[in-house]
Amino acid sequence: MKTSRRFLGLVAVLSATLAGNPAAADELVHFESAPVKLSPFRIRKANEQGEILPQPQGTPLLGYLSRPQGSGPFPAIVVMHGCEGMRLSIKDLWPKRLVSWGYVVLVVDSLTTRNIKDTCQSYLPDRVFDAYGALNFLSKQGFVDAQRVALMGFSVGGTATLEGTKVEGNEQLMDRKFKAAVAYYPACAGNQGDATVPILILSGDRDNWSPADPCKKRLANLSDNSPPIELDIYKGVYHDFDAPEFKVGRQVFGHIEKYNPDAAEKSIRSVHSFLQKYLSN
């Protein structure tokens, strides 16, 4: 309990500091994942039995905050990394690009505080709550327009992005909501159904780690009431096609990861247009 109080005190001090001073690019910040709320049934049963329930707590997390010059308020992007963690293009290239477009960027590190090296052979179920914890953190910053924040994820981070913006998912438990979402080569679920916000999905047709076919099936199952989901599929392209660190290409667990400059450039233009469309004033 003492550790938790010290951490919360640090978050409070840091939040106050950020509110009064412009943050430097790539500033390391601390926040918590959104806590898992107790169900009304659990609360009611506890009240009936005179049980005192503990206050739900989030998981301490790290993030890398970058922002444009000026006082804002700016639209913002929460970025979720893939299973290997904070690679160069996620921690450096995409934030610089997004900041140059006028967005505050918070890249969420879901691994370090959990003492996890990677999740490429395991599943980390908390990442939707990590995304909403980052949204809560950004919403308290004076230089962020809390009504214009998008979620952007890569690979399993993209999968978490889709999970966090689906109808009847954990999004309904959250007080604050994202405005739009971008998912690079996520693992789609064909039966996932409607979205809660407009979504852009970007995939390669040779990606056998996160195939595009389930994404097509999901789009075919959308109701007329769903916000739009755009799907860009790039021909002859593998997983991680936007990441220059994979210029040579590599094989991981039987899956090819390879940079494709043409597809990367096309996807970047699509992301730019999509964010302008849904995060503009």
Q: Give how many domains the chain has, as a whole number.
A: 1
Kindly tell me if the per-residue pLDDT of 222 is higher than 70: yes
Q: Pinpoint the alpha helices (H) of 87-211.
A: 88, 94-100, 127-139, 156-163
Q: Which residue has the higher pLDDT, 12 or 244?
A: 244
Residue 104: the pLDDT is 98
Yes or no: say if 29 and 108 are a contact pair by the CB < 8 Å rule: no
Q: Pinpoint the alpha helices (H) of the chain.
A: 2-20, 40-48, 88, 94-100, 127-139, 156-163, 213-220, 261-279
Residue 250: the pLDDT is 79
CATH number of the domain within which 28 lies? 3.40.50.1820
Enter the tokens of residue 156. 């399993």
Yes or no: say if 196 and 160 are a contact pair by the CB < 8 Å rule: no
Q: Which residue has the higher pLDDT, 114 or 182?
A: 182
CA-to-CA separations, 232 to 21, 119, 255, in angstroms, rounded: 39, 26, 20
Please count the CA atoms within 13 angstroms of the CA of 231 that sit on its side-chain side.
21
Pairing mode of beta strands 144-154, 74-80 = parallel
Give 193-220 pLDDT, tens digit per residue. 899 999 999 999 999 989 999 999 999 9
Tell me the residue range of the domain where 53 lies: 2-279
Enter the tokens of residue 32. 């918590």
List the one residue out of 215, 207, 229 whose CA is nearest residue 274: 229
- Pick from 38-42, 170-174, 263-267: least confident: 38-42
Residue 8: the pLDDT is 42
Give 4-22 pLDDT, tens digit per residue. 444 344 444 344 334 344 4
Q: Which residues pair with 4 in a beta bridge?
A: none
Kindly tell me if the per-residue pLDDT of 272 is higher than 90: yes
Residue 1: the pLDDT is 38
> Using CA atoms, how far apart are residues 210 and 212, in angstroms rounded to an integer?
7
Q: What is the mean pLDDT of residues 117-136?
A: 85
When pLDDT is cut at 50, 70 and 90, the band that residue 55 belongs to is: low
Kindly tell me if the per-residue pLDDT of 144 is higher than 50: yes
Kindly tell me if the per-residue pLDDT of 81 is higher than 70: yes
DSSP 227-267: PPEEEEEETT--BTTT-GGGSS-EEETTEEE---HHHHHHH
Look up the pTM and report it: 0.85
- Pick from 24-33, 158-167, 224-233: least confident: 24-33
Give the dihedral sign, CA 71/75/78/79. Answer: negative
Give 27-46 pLDDT, tens digit per residue. 999 989 998 766 565 556 55
**Residue 199: CB atoms within 10 Å:** 28
Give Cβ neighbours of residue 77 (< 8 Å, ≥ 6 apart). Answer: 98, 103, 104, 105, 106, 149, 150, 151, 152, 275
When pLDDT is cut at 50, 70 and 90, the band that residue 255 belongs to is: confident
Long-range contacts of 107-110 (CB under 8 A, 24+ apart): 107/63, 107/64, 107/66, 107/79, 107/81, 108/61, 108/63, 108/78, 108/79, 108/80, 108/81, 108/133, 108/134, 109/61, 109/62, 109/63, 109/64, 109/81, 109/85, 110/61, 110/80, 110/81
Residue 41: the pLDDT is 55
